[in-house]
Copies of this chain bind each other. A is one copy, B any other.
Amino acid sequence: MSRYMDVSMPIRNGMLIWPTDPPVEVRVFKSPDKGDRSTVSAVAMGTHTGTHIDAPRHFLPEAEGIESLTPEVLIGRCTVLDVRGRGNVGPEHLRPALEAGATRILLRTGTIEKQMEEGFSKEFPGVTAEGARAMIEAGVRLVGIDTMSVETYHAPGAPTHHALLGARIVVIENLLLASVPAGDYDLIALPLLIAGADGAPARVLLRTLDG
């Protein structure tokens, strides 16, 4: 019987964020303790907080916002690749999945859970410019990763982001994949509909295919 796996990072005060991003603040705004009818909280965060999706506009100022990403790409069959301990992700890591026709690829590098425990580090693997090109040529529509960025830290010119977003490939970052074995799943990745935004926090689920 198929089951859902939640691969989204919980949003909370003090969570791991990109060092130069807006701080996350979640606080109680209304509550019965204050004489209100109900409890309502206020949330402040960046558009790239937690598990989130990049819009083309994130690196291409004239390009589309998050509303341009269609359900037909955000939902569907995906392949999780286990690339732990293999460094940056290039064509050689991707080739088997690309040859099998994968159009949505999630990369499990084993990075994010360590940073959630130990704090941000600039040392994390990313997709190389060559890896990005291989995915574009193969017709990939979506790529996700369990690091804070699909690209190595401050790669000069950000070629991976420019290539992927320029090709209108959906990029998901900060996925929690520690419990997800390599293989095929059905992906549901829904970003908040923040009008015109450069990205948005998202809830992302995988459904197993068995049964």
Is B4 within 8 A of A21, CB to CB? no
Is B12 within 8 A of A40, CB to CB? no
Min CB gap A187→B, angstroms? 12
Q: Does A133 contact B (CB under 8 A)?
A: no
The size class of the interface chain A forms with chain B is 35 or more
Min CB gap A33→B, angstroms? 8
Q: Does A198 contact B (CB under 8 A)?
A: yes
Interface members, chain A 1-49 (any B CB < 8 Å): 4, 6, 8-12, 20-22, 26, 29-32, 37-48
Interface members, chain A 46-76 (any B CB < 8 Å): 46-48, 50-51, 57-59, 61, 67, 70-72, 75
Q: List 11 additional A-B contacts (Cβ < 8 Å) besides A26-B197, A43-B45.
A: A9-B193, A10-B67, A11-B194, A12-B194, A21-B30, A31-B61, A39-B58, A43-B194, A50-B193, A188-B188, A188-B190
